[in-house]
Amino acid sequence: MQFSSRLIEDAVNAFASLPGIGKKTALRLVLDLVQRPTEDSVQLAHAVARMRENIQHCITCGNLSDQTTCSICRDQRRDRSIICVVESIRDVMAIEETQQYRGVYHVLGGVISPIEGVGPADLNIDTLISRARDGEVEEVIMAISPTIEGDTTIFYLNKQLAEAEVQISSIARGVSFGGELEYADEVTLGRSIVARRKL
């Protein structure tokens, strides 16, 4: 691409560095911003910079948060005796959307995957073990995508949590095998939490 403006070129390259956005799409986004009020671009810029500079991982559950502790862990109406273990913040959002769950979460930050070089030490597992041992927790629900890596992770966590006196359950199959949790429809995902089974 030949740019007559360095400003446009820099903005296009910045957008094109995002996943799934090519140069043509990036140019379309930039030209759209040019045609809209300056305020829109400034707002986008501020939202991105402010988000990245202030976002943090909740020290309790690992969820992305505006503060040291996330809004779910801070919420006194949530049931702290149940922890729902998920891969990522997207899964937290998907489960919250079903409005079927009133416990708290634990975000692993991924699943164990020898092929991609992700081992237990790379995940937010140690804090989960200590949370499960603190006496307050009665149940740990595994809400992890039903893939080979997901099942491996559940198996590993199950062994690690054996000493903690907690009930371990897994969301009911209903989520199709090989599928990603975040794309399941609300009803299926909601029911699979209600109909969770003991491991």
Residue ranges in contact with a copy of itself by CB under 8 A: 1-8, 10-11, 13-15, 17-21, 25, 27-34, 38, 40-55, 63-66, 70-72, 88-90, 92-93, 96-97
Q: What are 83's two structure tokens? A: 């922890």
82 DSSP β-pair partners: 139
> What is the Cα 181 distance to its own chain's centre?
10
Closer by beta carbon to a copy of itself, 19 or else 117:
19
Closer by beta carbon to a copy of itself, 66 or else 165:
66
Closer by beta carbon to a copy of itself, 71 or else 176:
71
Closer by beta carbon to a copy of itself, 99 or else 159:
99
Write down the least CB distance from residue 159 to a copy of itself, Å.
28
Write down the least CB distance from residue 33 to a copy of itself, Å.
6
Write down the least CB distance from residue 165 to a copy of itself, Å.
29
Write down the least CB distance from residue 178 to a copy of itself, Å.
19
Q: In sequence order, which ranges of 55-179 are alpha helices (DSSP H)?
A: 71-74, 89-98, 126-133, 148-160
Nearest to 153 by CA among 142, 163, 164, 165: 142
N-to-C CA span, the chain: 56
The count of other CB atoms within 10 Å of the CB of residue 111 is 21
